[in-house]
A and B are shown apart, each in its own frame.
Chain A
Amino acid sequence: MSHDFLQMHLKAVISCLLIFLYKVHTTKAGQFFSSGHTNNWAVLVCTSRFWFNYRHVANTLSVYRSVKRLGIPDSHIVLMLADDMACNYRNPKPATVFSHKNMELNVYGDDVEVDYRGYEVTVENFLRVLTGRLPPSTPRSKRLLSDDRSNILIYLTGHGGNGFLKFQDSEEISNMELADAFEQMWQKRRYNELLFIIDTCQGASMYERFYSPNLMALASSQVGEDSLSHQPDLAIGVHLMDKYTFYLLEFLEEVHPASQANMNDLFKVCPQSQCVSTPGHRTDLFQRDPGSVLITDFFGSVRKVEITKDTINLTSPVEPPIQRSGSGDIQIESLTYVDQLPVAEIIHQKPKQKDWHPPDGFILGLWTLILLVFFQTYGIKHLKHIF
C-alpha cells in the first residue's frame, strides 16, 4: 500500500517537472518556430516543348526569378524546363527569355541553373522528384531534399485539359496521380506546408482531387475555361507569357523579403477583367487562415539570424602539411607522355584471342565414329521396313 502511494507521488512530481520544462521550452523555442517551417523549397516545372510554347518557359522562369530574388538559393530550387528557348535557333536574342514586350525584362538572367531539361522532363521524373524515389547516384541538385519542416512551392505550367496536364506533348499526368503523389509526400514527411500553383487550361481540375493536409492550391482557370496568353512580341514572334503568370510576376516584383503581403493578396492577383479566365483557389485542406500566411512563407527563404556581440578571433588559414615526398628519384623512368597515334603499334596489334574451338578434323572424325558405332550395332537390316 505504502509502496503504491510512494510510486504515485513520484509520478506526480515527475510530471510536474516535465510540464514546467515544457513550458520553459515552448516560450523560447516556440518563438523560433513561429512560422512552423525552417526551410523553403521550390519545384518549378514547364512541361511544354517546341518554340511556340515560349510563354510556358517564360512563365516558369519568371517564378524562378522571383523566388531566387526573395532568397531561395539555387540548391533549393528544382527547375525543370522541357525545351531550350534561350539558346533556340529561332530566338533572335540568344541566352535571353523575356517576359515583357520590347525586351524589357530578361527573366532568364546570367546566373541560371536548370536541373532537368529537355527530354528529362517526364511525368516519371517529376513524380520521382516529389516522392524522393530517385536512383542513388542522382546528384543533390536534382533532388528535393525537403523534410517535415519544409514549405514547398510547386509551380506547373503547360497545356492541360479537364483532369490532366500534358508533358512534352507525349504523355500526361492526371489529377489523381498528382493528389496521390502529394499524399505520399505527406506520409513520408516531406513537407510542412505546400503551395501548389498551376497555370494551364482548366487548371482548377488539377487540384480538386487533393486530399492531403496542409495544401493550398491556386489555378489560373476554372474547369471549362481556357487560360489565355498575354502579349505577343513582334521581334520574337511568339506570345511571351500567359496572362495569369504575367500578373503574378507583376505582383511578385512588388514583394520584398520583409513585406507583409499575405495569401489573400495572392488570390486577387488576376481578376477576371484582366485574366479573362477565372482564377481559382482552394484552402479547405490548409490549417491556417490564408490572411495570416505571408507570401514570403513560400516564395522567400527562412533566414534566422542570431547576432552576437562577442569578438571572435579567426585563426590564420590552415597551411597544408608540406609533403615534398622523396619519391622523385624513384619514379624518374616511368613518367612519359603517350604517343597519340602510334601507327606501328596499332598495325601490329595482336589479333584478338578467339574462343577455343576444336579443330575441324576432330569433329569430322567424331561424326564418323558415331555413324560407325550406329551401323555396327544395328546393321543395315533393321531399316528394311523402309527399303
Chain B
Amino acid sequence: MAAHRCGLSLVFILILSSLACPSSCDALEKANENTGEKQSVSDTPREVNTDGSIAAEDLNERQWQSTDVEADRSDGTKDSESFTAAARDQFQEELVIRPLHSGDIYASFQFRTLWDTDFLQERQKVSHYRLFPKSLGQVLSKFSVRELHISFTQGFWRTMQWGQPFIPSPPGAELWVWFHDTVSDVDGNWKELTNVLSGIFCASLNFIDLTNTVQPSASFKPLGLGNATDHRFLRYATLPREIVCTENLTPWKKLLPCGSKAGLSVLLKSEKLFHSSFHSQAVHIRPVCQDEQCTSKAWELRQTLNVVFDLYTSGQGKKEWSLFKMFSRTLTEACPLATSSKVYVDITDNPEGELFELSPATPLLSQAVVLGDRRTYSVFDLTRAEMFGQLRSLNLLLRWKGDTLTTQSDMLRPLLHAERYVAGFGLQTGEIHTVIYNNHPYRAFPVLLMDSVPWYLQLYIHTLTVTSKSRDNKPSYIHYQPAKDRHRPHLLEMLIQLPPHSMTEVTVQFERALLKWTEYTPDPNHGFYVGSSVVSALVPSMVAMNTNFTQDQPLFSSFVPVKEESSYFVRVYTEPLLVNLPTPDFSMPYNVICLTCTVVAVGYGSFYNLLTRTFQVDEPSLPLAKRLANLIRRIRGVPLLA
C-alpha cells in the first residue's frame, strides 16, 4: 500500500513542483515487491491521499478526522489482511507530544507488536519469530507467564504540574507478573524470572526476593484477557533505588523490530533522554483480543517510553521546542516493518493557535477520549512520504506565543492526587503520612490504596487512622499482612471512599528495627528506601468514555480496558520514602576503639574479677514447694520445715 501511496504522491509532486521522488520511496517500492500479497490492502488509503492533496493546496484549512471513521476503514483492511496468513504479527509505532503548561514538554513513545500465537501451548513450541523478540517469547513460555509488566523510571512524575501520564510508573524499577494458573511453584518461577529479566534488561532485578515481593489481594488485576483473578498467581515488587541509564535503554531498544535504525526509534538517543526531568521506559506483555468479536487471543507487547524535557535545562529557557532540540534528531522515515507510524501533538488547549504555533501544519486532526477527557491531536502520518517535505525530514516545531507561560506558577488541579512523607524525629519511631486529594467538586469516588513496607520498619497497625475532612473515614475493606523479619514485607491494602473536594490522610506509626551488621548497604547513611504506595481509583469522567475496546484506537488511549462510560481507571504512585535507620559507625577508628574496649573488658575485666573475688560454699536451697509451704507456715506461726 505504501507503493501506491508513494506512486500517487509522486505524480502529484511532479505536477506541482517537478521534484524528484525521495529515495526512500524507491526503497519502499522495492520492499513491496517481495511482499506482493500485501497489495490487496492498498485500496483503502486513497481517500486519505486525496485529503493530502487538498491539504497541500490549502494548508490552513483543517480537516476533521475522527478516530472512529479511521477505525472502520482499517477494519476493512484488517479483514483482508487476515486472509493472508503470513502477516500474523504486526507492529505499530506512535509518538505523542503534549506541551505542558509549565513550559516543559512531554513526549510519550509507544511501540506495539501484536502476534496471534499462543506461547503457553504445551503441544507445539513456538520457534519461528518475526517481529516479536525471541528473548521475551522464550521467557513467556518457559515460565508460563500470563502477563508481565516491567518499568524502569528515573525521576518522579509531578502530577500537580504535568497532569496524568498515559501509563504511570513509580520511581525505580517495578515488576508485576501474573502467572498462568497451571504453575505449581510460583515463588520458584518468580525468582528465576527476575534473574532472567535482570540479564535481559541489565538491571539489578535479582535483588527482588521474598523480602520485597507481595501478593496484592485487590490491586493489580490483570490488564489483559482472562477471568482468573486468584491473587496467588500474582507477584508484585518494586526496587525504588534502581538506577536507570543507557545500559537499560540499550537492551530495551534492541527488542524493537527496527532497533534504533529506522522509524520513531531513531529519536531515542540516551544523551538527550536522560537529560530530562522524568524518564520512564516500560515493557507490557499481555493477551488481548484478536479482533472485535474477541473470539481468540493475541499477544501484545507494548514498549513505552515517557520523557519530560525541562524548560530550563533542556530548553535553555526558550519557549520553543522542536524534535531536533528534544532528541537531537529529526524523523526521516517510518519503520518499514510498521503498519502504522504516527506522531500526535496535543492541541486541545490551542484550537485556534492562540497559545503556541505548530509547524509544519498538518490538516489531519484526531480526537480521542483519554483519561476522562476529550483531547484533540494533530496527526502526522509517517507512512506518507509527503509528510517529510522537500528536505526529506520532519522536524516538528512548537513555539509558544508571547507571555502565555506567565501562569506557570499555577498548579493544575488533577481530580486525583496523592503524596506521602515520613514524620517524626529521632531514630526510633516515626509515622508515615499518605495524603490523597479528591479535587472533584461534587462526586465521591473509591480508591484502593496499596502499601508495601519493608520489614525493618515495624508498623504499629493499631495506630492506623484514616481521616477525611477531620472526621474518621472507615475503610470498607482492609487487607493487612504483617511482615516477618527477613522473610516478607508488610502489605496493607485499603478501599477508601473519598468524599468530594476533600483531603484524606492515612497515618500509621512505625518503629525502626536494628539490622545485623552484614545487612547494611555499603552506604547505609544514605538511608533506606520504601517503595511508592499505589493508589488505584475509578475517577468520574468528564465525558463518556469509549467502552468499545478495539485495537484501532490510537495506542495511547487503548491501554486500560474501559468497562463503564461514567468513570475511568487510573493509577497514581506517590513518592518513595527515604528513611534513616539507626546505623552503627562503620569507620576504622570506631572499630579500633570497639575492638580494644572488648579486649580490655573481656581480658582485663575477667582477670581482675578473679583476683578480687572471694569464694564461699553456698548452702543448698530448699525446693520450691517447701519454700512456698514455709511461707504460709511463717504466716500461721507454725514451725518451719527443714
Measured CB to CB, the residues of A under 8 A from B are 49-50, 84, 86-87, 93-96, 108-115, 117-120, 135, 137-142, 168-170, 318-320, 322-325, 327-329, 331-332, 334-343, 346-347, 349, 385-387
Contact = CB atoms under 8 A, between A and B. Distances in A.
A292 to B, nearest CB: 37
B226 A87 contact: no
B523 interface: yes
Given A87-B274, A110-B271, A343-B538, A349 B202 contact: no
Interface stretch (B245-253, B317-325, B338-346, B609-617): B245-253
B316 interface: no
A113 B251 contact: yes
A341 B569 contact: yes
B251 A338 contact: no
Interface stretch (B99-107, B288-296, B462-470): B288-296
Given A87-B244, A386-B629, 4 more contacts: A341-B446, A343-B495, A347-B495, A349-B477
Given A341-B446, A341-B569, A320 B88 contact: yes
Nearest to B294: A335
B561 interface: yes
Given A339-B221, A347-B477, A95 B289 contact: no
B546 to A, nearest CB: 14
B225 A120 contact: no
B192 interface: yes
Given A49-B522, A113-B251, A322 B85 contact: yes
5 contacts: A87-B246, A95-B246, A117-B204, A118-B243, A325-B296
Interface in B480-539: 495, 521-523, 536-538
Nearest to A387: B632
Contact of B521 (A50, A109, A119, A336): A119
Contacts of B16: none
B587 to A, nearest CB: 10
B192 A137 contact: yes
Most B C-beta atoms less than 10 A away, residue of A140, A325, A336: A336
B122 to A, nearest CB: 14
Contacts of B218: 346, 349
Interface stretch (B49-57, B193-201, B391-399, B430-438): B193-201
Contacts of A347: 476-477, 495
B295 A331 contact: yes
* Interface size, B (range): 35 or more
Contacts of B372: none
B206 interface: yes
Contacts of B128: 318, 320
A114 B202 contact: yes
B196 A49 contact: no
Contacts of A324: 85
Contacts of A135: 195
A334 B289 CA distance: 12
B477 A112 contact: no
Given A87-B154, A114-B202, A339 B563 contact: yes
Contact of B523 (A49, A94, A138, A320): A49
B229 interface: yes
A179 to B, nearest CB: 25
B38 interface: no
Most B C-beta atoms less than 10 A away, residue of A114, A135, A332: A114
A94 B275 contact: yes
A110 B269 contact: yes
A340 B560 contact: yes
Most B C-beta atoms less than 10 A away, residue of A84, A328, A335: A335
Nearest to B447: A341
B245 A168 contact: no
B413 interface: no
A140 B199 contact: yes
A119 B536 contact: no
Contact of B275 (A93, A120, A168, A336): A93
Contacts of B244: 87
B448 interface: yes
A120 B549 CA distance: 43
Contacts of A141: 199, 202
Nearest to A352: B479
B64 interface: no
Interface in B125-176: 128, 154
Contacts of B296: 325, 327-328, 331, 335
B202 A113 contact: yes
B540 interface: no
A385 B476 contact: no
B191 interface: yes
B402 to A, nearest CB: 32
Contacts of B560: 340
Nearest to B296: A328
Contacts of B245: 84, 86-87, 94-95
Contacts of A119: 204, 207, 521-522
Most A C-beta atoms less than 10 A away, residue of B229, B275, B629: B275
B477 A335 contact: no
Contact of A328 (B222, B227, B295, B563): B295
B226 A139 contact: no
Contacts of B222: 338
A381 B62 CA distance: 109
B476 to A, nearest CB: 5
B270 A95 contact: yes
A141 B199 CA distance: 6
A118 B204 contact: yes
Given A87-B154, A336-B294, A50 B88 contact: no
Contact of A335 (B225, B270, B448): B225
Contacts of B224: 337
Nearest to B493: A346
Contacts of B200: 139
B204 A332 contact: no
A236 to B, nearest CB: 14
A336 B227 contact: yes
B586 interface: yes
Most B C-beta atoms less than 10 A away, residue of A94, A109, A141, A325: A94
B86 interface: yes
